[in-house]
Chain A
Amino acid sequence: MLSRVAESLYWIGRYLERAEDSARLLDVHYHALLDAQVGDHGESWQRIVALYGDEPAYREHYDAFTAQDVAEWVLWHDGNPSAVASCITLARENARSVREQISGEMWEAINGLFLVVGRANRRAAVRGPHAFFEELRNGAHRFQGTADATMTHGEPYEFLQLGLHLERAATTVRVVRARYPIAVALEEDDPLRAHELIALLKSCSAFEAYVRRYGASFDPLAIAEELIRSADFPRAALYCLRTCAASVERIAGPSGTPQRVLGRLGADLEYGEVSDVSGDGVAATLLDLLAGINRAGDAVAKTFFSTRAVPAAALASQEAQQQQCG
Chain B
Amino acid sequence: MTETEPANEGASSLVAGYDLGPFFDEMFEAPGRPRRHYRALNERLGGLSDDGLRERIRTANAFFLTQGIGFTVYGDDEGTDRIFPFDLIPRIVPAEEWAHVERGLEQRVRALNLFLADLYGAQRILAEGVVPVELVFGSRNFRRELIGVEPAGGVYAHVCGVDLIRDDGGRYFVLEDNLRTPSGVSYMLESRQALKRIFASLFERSGVRAIDQYPRELLETLRSVAPRASTGDPAIVLLTPGAYNSAYYEHSFLARQMEIELVEARDLVVHRNRVFTRTTSGLQRVDVIYRRIDDDFLDPLAFRHDSLLGVPGLLNAYRGGNITLANAIGTGVADDKAIYPFVPDMIRFYLDEEPELANVPTYVGARPDDLAVILERIDELVVKAVDQSGGYGMLIGPAATASEHDEFRKLVAADPRNYIAQPTIALSRHPTFVRGALHGCHVDLRPFVLSGADRVRLVPGGLTRTALREGSLVVNSSQGGGSKDTWVLG
Residues of A within 8 A of B (CB): 1-4, 6, 92, 96-97, 99-100, 104, 111, 114-115, 155, 251-252, 304-306, 308, 310-311, 314-316, 318-326
Contact = CB atoms under 8 A, between A and B. Distances in A.
Contact of A323 (B68, B262, B279, B294): B294
B79 A315 contact: no
Nearest to A251: B280
A311 B309 CA distance: 12
Interface stretch (B55-63, B128-136, B244-252): B244-252
Contact of B244 (A111, A320, A325): A320
B307 interface: yes
A324 B246 contact: yes
Contacts of A251: 280
Most buried by A among B182, B245, B246, B252: B245
A4 B255 CA distance: 17
Given A2-B278, A100-B256, A326-B182, A320 B446 contact: no
Contacts of B252: 99-100
A3 B241 contact: no
A116 B308 CA distance: 33
B434 to A, nearest CB: 21
Contacts of A104: 66, 68
Given A318-B241, A322-B309, A326-B183, 6 more contacts: A4-B278, A318-B307, A318-B308, A320-B241, A324-B246, A326-B476
Contact of B246 (A6, A310, A320): A320
B293 A3 contact: no
A111 B81 CA distance: 12
7 contacts: A104-B66, A251-B280, A252-B280, A319-B242, A319-B244, A320-B74, A325-B182
B79 A3 contact: no
B246 A326 contact: no
Nearest to A112: B79
Contacts of B68: 99, 104
A304 B282 CA distance: 8
Most buried by B among A252, A304, A316: A316
B266 A115 contact: no
A100 B281 contact: no
B255 A100 contact: yes
B42 to A, nearest CB: 30
A172 to B, nearest CB: 27
Interface string B74-100: 100001000000000000000000000
B243 A322 contact: no
Contacts of A304: 280
A96 B252 CA distance: 12
B277 interface: yes
Contact of A4 (B74, B184, B266, B292): B266
Contacts of A2: 261, 263, 267, 277-280
B395 to A, nearest CB: 23
B336 interface: no
B120 interface: no
B182 A3 contact: no
Given A318-B307, A322-B245, A326-B178, A155 B280 contact: yes
Contacts, number: 106
A325 B280 contact: no
B297 to A, nearest CB: 7
Interface of B: 66, 68, 74, 79, 161, 178, 180-184, 241-247, 250, 252, 255-256, 261-264, 266-267, 277-281, 292-294, 297, 307-309, 446, 463, 465, 476-478
A252 B281 contact: yes
Contacts of B184: 326
Nearest to B180: A325
B280 A323 contact: no
A1 B280 contact: yes
Nearest to A316: B244
A9 to B, nearest CB: 11
A308 B463 CA distance: 39
Contacts of B261: 2
A4 B477 CA distance: 31
A3 B161 contact: no
Given A1-B280, A318-B297, A319-B244, A310 B308 contact: yes
Contacts of A155: 280
Nearest to A92: B79
Nearest to B477: A326
Contacts of B278: 2-4, 306
Contact of A3 (B256, B279, B478): B279
A310 B266 contact: yes
A224 B73 CA distance: 52
A325 B297 contact: no
Nearest to B282: A3
A306 B278 CA distance: 7
A311 B252 CA distance: 23
Given A4-B266, A114-B79, A325 B308 contact: no
Contacts of B309: 315, 318-319, 322
A325 B294 contact: no
Nearest to A5: B267
A155 B178 CA distance: 39
A323 B245 CA distance: 9
Nearest to A156: B280
A89 to B, nearest CB: 9
B183 A324 contact: yes
Contact of A315 (B161, B181, B308, B446): B308
A109 to B, nearest CB: 12
Contacts of A3: 267, 278-280
Contacts of A306: 266, 278
B474 to A, nearest CB: 12
B286 to A, nearest CB: 12
Contacts of B294: 321-323
